[in-house]
Structure formats: structure tokens, C-alpha cells
């Protein structure tokens, strides 16, 4: 009897501890899930801090566009390498399979699915096996998917290939800046209207006005290798670069800024869908780095140095070049490259990031303005502009950083900045993703003591 009483008392105490109101005290919401930060695969953590953004040496012609400015950046994760052809191909295959699933519906023949990867791990959702010997014995499915392939008169040597023009990714995002501006405008009305009227106005804002729909073709423009260079023979790169296994670990190129942004959205959905299916909490979205984040990461903690590895030289003590660019008088091969090289080539900087100078230049999220250093904030500085189709070209410029395999040494410097138009694709521009860290930062030298 005594044991029964003790058990009942314990259960009562447990229940009241879970569902009480803190005895009238402010204790917060109980039962919240625990959170343990986890480094995303293939990224490195970069603690927040302040640095001098801009050129390490004064350059009179560029003094207005790249003057030095002290800024602070919060902690974030960044991809150790540029996004590779094979990583981007996962996105392309996802879009291809998603379109096929929508056409066929849920009744896909199980024999036509790949449900585990090469390591025996489940693939969710399963990928479609496009091996013609396996897949095309089902006449109904074959007829349903016929429109996904090139029409017969466009085929080369009668090869049955996917029509890449139809690989379109549809997604949505929220224009928070527009929403904040609209909310601020409505808040201003409180000075001339009663509180009740103002609340009524704010309460009737249609949230759908801030939800932007995007439809983006995801396949890289492989013709950039030919189009970018007049009187130059680059047809082999056009034919082979994106799809051939030899180039799997090379940086993906031929992507517009818009396509890179779509990749970041898909990657965020990929991660958060997996977390949600396992009962875990969402994380911040992947995105393109701001210009300030990119330069902060490129410096590797070595403030005021001209190159990611320090400086001021472009060769190591053995005389070997430290990056893939156009050295000397155009001897492309002297640095060990010709066009692009593998993304983990050369030595990483002190943050563990490869090819922050050379190989391919990299898209940032930042809109290009010559005088942005004059008006941008010093706290997470960023300047973004949502260009419309009928906007002049000057409003469609996006900052690119790092220099590429075809650029001279000036663009290899941490503080050098230039631009390209958001709807253009080049054979010398790639990208890498970042993700804002959840919280102030890890316990390192940047955190509270």
C-alpha cells in the first residue's frame, strides 16, 4: 500500500511539473524540442567577426568602387568547394524525375525505380531508372513520357535524349523587404488614423502579394564555351564538360544567377524535408553569399592581405602558382590548369576553403553598384534589388568575386570586385552556397568569454 501511494505521488508530481503554469512565474513554454547544431555536409563553419572590406592597397582608378570599409559579419557556413558538375547534376535529375512523376502519377512500376544508393542507403523519394533496357518495356509509361524527349527531327544520330528545355523548376519565395516596407507604410498611418483604423488596414494586407513564384530552366548553358570566346576552339568542352564523368569534380559553369538561386532553394528543401521526416527542426535556408560574406571567407582570417593564402605573392616557396588564373603573359598551363581544374585543387585558405581565388569566379547575392560602399550598412552589409524583365541592364548586375581561369592576377585579389548580368551564363563563373548559423556563434575566439 505504501509503495502504491509513493508511485501515485510521483506520477502526480510528474504530471503537475509538465502541465503547471510555473506557480505563477514566467517560465516560458515547456516541452520545447532540444536543438543541437550540426555542420551541413561539405561546408565549413566561419565564425562571425569584423574585418576591413575592400582593397588591401590603394588603387586610384578603383578608389570609388572598392574603397576600404570596416564591416561586421555574423557566423555562417560556406561550401568548402565550388559546386561541382556532379552535385548540380543531382538537382537536374531531381527536376527530371519530378516532371516524370507528375506525368505518370503515383503508379510508377517499382521495377523502374532506384530505391537505394551505392552504399545501400534508402533514396527518398526513389529515383527513376532511365535505363532504356529496363524502363521502356512498359508501353503505357513510354507513351506518357514521350514528350519529355527530343522530337525525332531534332535528334542527333537518332539518340533518344531528354529535351533539356523542359527541365523547369518551380518554386516560391517570400519578398520580406517588400513586406517590411508595406508594413512600415501602414504603420505610418497610425499618426493620422485611430489605432483601430490602423489595425484594420494592417490586418487586411493580402500576404500573397509578397509570395513570388519563379519558374526556372535548370540545365546549364553548355554553349557558353563556344560563345564566350571568338576565334577559339572550345567545342570539346561544350560537348563533354557537364555530363562526362571525367569532369564530375570540376566546377559547374554556364549557369545564370537565377539558376544558382534556384539550386539554393532546392538544396534547402532537400535538407528541411529530410529533417521534417525525421522529426527534427528546420534550419536556415541555403543561399548565395553576400559580397561581404564572400570576401570575409576568402580572407581566411588574414585581414588586409591581398590573396586568400596571405600575400603578397602568387607563388609558394617552390615557385609553384597558388591558384588557377591567367599568369604572366597568358601562359595558361604554367599554373597547372588550362581551363578549369578540380574544385579541391591547390591549397585551401586558413578557413579550409578551396579556390577562393581563381578556377571560376563566383556569383554573390549582392546587386552591383559602384558606390555601394558609400551607403551600405556596416552590419551584415548587403544591397539587393529584385530586377524586373523590363528594367534597364544596369539594374540586373550582380557582383562576382574571386577571378577565374581566364582572368589576370588583379581579379584574384580578395578586394577586387566586378559584375555580370543576372540572366547571362558564362564558362568562367560558378558558385558556392552559404547558410546563416543559428545563434550567435560557436564557442570560439569570436564568442563571449
Q: Are residues 60 and 204 both part of a single domain?
A: no
199 and 262 belong to one structural domain: no
Q: What pLDDT score does 448 carry?
A: 44
In a domain, 35, yes or no: no
Number of separate domains in the chain: 2
The domain boundary residue, chosen from 147, 180, 208: 208
List the domain range (segments joined by +) for residue 260.
45-84+224-436
339 close to 321: Cβ distance less than 8 angstroms: no
Q: How confident is the model at residue 426 (pLDDT cuts 50, 70, 90)?
A: very high
Is residue 90 included in any domain, yes or no? no
* 342 and 367 assigned to the same domain: yes
* Predicted local distance difference test score (pLDDT) of residue 254: 96
* Closest among 174, 181, 182 to 213, alpha carbons compared: 174
Which of the residue ranges 53-67, 315-329, 337-351, 357-371 would you say has the lowest mean pLDDT? 53-67
Give which of 343, 361, 163, 171 is closest to 258, Cα–Cα.
171
Rounded CA gap, 283 and 281, in Å? 7
Return the CATH number at 385.
3.90.1580.10
pLDDT band at 194 (very low <50, low <70, confident <90, very high): very low
Domain for residue 384, yes or no? Answer: yes
Count how many Cα atoms sit within 13 Å of the Cα of residue 8 in the half-sphere of its side chain: 5
Q: How confident is the model at residue 208 (pLDDT cuts 50, 70, 90)?
A: confident
Do 266 and 366 have their domain in common? yes
Estimate to the nearest angstrom the gap between the alpha carbon of 149 and the chain centroid: 29
Q: What burial letters (b/e) apply to 66-104, b meaning 16+ CB within 10 Å?
A: bbebebbbbbbbbbbbbbbbebbeebbebbbbbbbeeeb
Q: Same structural domain for residues 278 and 417?
A: yes
Average pLDDT rounded to a whole number, residues 110-132? 67
Determine, yes or no, domain membership for 92. Answer: no
The answer on 393 and 275 residing in a single domain is yes
**Which of residues 180, 208, 236 is at a domain's end?**
208
Do 392 and 279 belong together in one domain? Answer: yes
**Which residues are bridge partners to 45 per DSSP?**
77
Does 198 lie in the same domain as 262?
no
Phi, psi (5° rounding) for residue 66? -140, 45
- Give the contacts of 106 (CB within 8 A, at least 6 positions apart): none
| 153-182 pLDDT per residue, tens | 998 888 888 899 999 999 999 888 888 887
According to the model, what pLDDT value does residue 298 have? 96
Plot region of 409 (φ>0 → left; ψ -120 to 50 → alpha; else → beta): alpha
Say if 3 falls within a structural domain: no
Q: Is 195 a domain residue?
A: yes
9 within a domain of the structure (yes/no)? no
Together in a domain, 305 and 180: no
Is the Cα torsion angle 421, 424, 428, 431 positive or negative in sign? Answer: positive
pTM to 2 decimal places: 0.86
Same domain, 192 and 265: no
Residues 298, 378: one domain?
yes
The per-residue pLDDT for range 3-36, each reduced to its tens digit, is 555 555 555 445 445 545 557 888 888 888 777 7
Question: Confidence class of residue 136 from pLDDT cuts 50, 70 and 90?
Answer: low
The proportion of the chain whose per-residue pLDDT surpasses 90, expressed as a percent, equals 49
Strand, helix or coil at 236?
helix
Cross-strand bridge partners of residue 49:
73
- Give a yes or no: residue 162 inside a domain: no
Q: Are residues 176 and 65 in the same domain?
A: no
CA contacts within 13 A on the Cβ side of 433: 25
Amino acid at each position: 500500500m505504501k509503495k502504491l501511494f509513493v508511485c501515485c505521488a510521483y506520477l502526480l508530481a510528474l504530471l503537475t511539473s509538465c502541465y503547471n503554469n510555473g506557480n505563477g512565474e514566467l517560465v516560458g513554454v515547456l516541452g520545447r524540442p532540444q536543438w543541437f547544431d550540426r555542420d551541413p555536409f561539405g561546408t565549413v563553419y566561419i565564425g562571425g567577426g569584423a574585418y576591413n572590406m575592400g582593397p588591401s592597397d590603394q588603387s586610384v582608378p578603383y578608389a570609388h568602387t572598392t574603397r576600404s570599409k570596416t564591416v561586421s559579419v555574423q557566423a555562417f557556413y560556406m561550401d568548402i568547394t565550388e559546386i561541382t558538375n556532379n552535385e548540380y547534376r543531382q538537382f537536374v535529375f531531381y527536376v527530371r524525375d519530378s516532371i516524370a512523376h507528375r506525368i505518370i502519377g503515383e503508379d510508377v512500376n517499382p521495377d523502374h525505380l532506384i530505391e537505394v544508393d551505392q552504399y545501400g542507403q534508402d533514396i527518398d523519394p526513389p529515383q527513376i531508372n532511365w535505363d532504356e533496357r529496363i524502363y521502356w518495356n512498359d508501353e503505357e509509361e513510354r507513351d506518357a513520357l514521350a514528350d519529355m524527349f527530343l522530337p525525332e527531327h531534332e535528334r542527333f544520330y537518332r539518340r533518344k535524349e531528354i529535351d533539356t528545355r523542359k527541365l523547369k523548376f518551380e518554386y516560391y519565395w517570400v519578398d520580406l523587404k517588400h513586406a517590411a516596407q508595406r508594413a512600415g507604410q501602414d504603420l505610418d498611418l497610425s499618426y493620422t488614423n485611430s489605432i483601430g483604423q490602423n489595425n484594420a488596414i494592417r490586418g487586411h494586407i493580402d500576404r500573397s502579394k509578397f509570395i513570388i513564384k519563379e519558374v526556372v530552366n535548370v540545365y546549364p548553358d553548355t554553349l557558353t564555351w563556344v560563345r564566350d570566346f571568338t576565334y577559339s576552339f572550345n567545342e570539346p568542352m561544350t560537348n563533354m564538360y557537364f555530363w562526362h564523368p571525367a569532369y564530375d569534380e570540376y566546377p559547374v559553369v554556364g549557369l545564370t544567377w537565377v539558376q544558382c538561386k534556384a539550386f539554393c532553394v532546392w538544396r534547402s528543401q532537400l535538407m528541411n524535408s529530410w529533417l521534417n521526416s525525421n522529426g527534427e527542426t528546420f534550419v536556415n535556408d541555403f543561399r548565395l553569399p553576400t559580397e561581404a560574406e564572400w570576401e570575409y571567407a576568402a580572407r581566411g582570417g588574414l585581414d588586409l592581405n591581398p590573396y586568400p593564402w596571405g600575400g603578397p605573392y602568387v607563388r609558394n616557396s617552390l615557385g609553384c602558382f597558388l591558384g588557377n588564373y591567367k599568369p604572366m603573359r597568358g601562359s595558361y598551363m604554367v599554373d597547372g590548369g588550362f581551363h578549369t581544374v578540380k574544385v579541391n585543387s591547390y591549397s585551401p585558405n586558413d578557413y579550409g576553403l578551396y579556390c577562393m581565388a581563381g578556377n571560376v569566379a563566383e556569383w554573390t547575392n549582392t546587386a552591383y553598384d559602384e558606390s555601394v560602399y558609400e551607403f551600405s550598412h556596416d552590419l551584415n552589409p548587403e544591397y539587393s534589388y529584385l530586377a524586373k524583365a523590363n528594367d534597364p541592364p544596369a539594374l540586373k548586375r550582380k557582383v562576382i568575386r574571386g577571378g577565374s581561369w581566364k582572368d589576370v592576377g588583379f581579379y584574384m585579389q580578395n578586394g577586387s570586385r566586378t559584375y555580370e548580368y543576372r540572366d547571362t551564363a558564362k564558362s568562367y563563373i560558378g558558385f558556392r552556397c552559404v547558410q546563416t548559423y543559428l545563434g550567435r556563434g560557436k564557442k570560439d575566439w569570436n564568442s563571449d568569454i
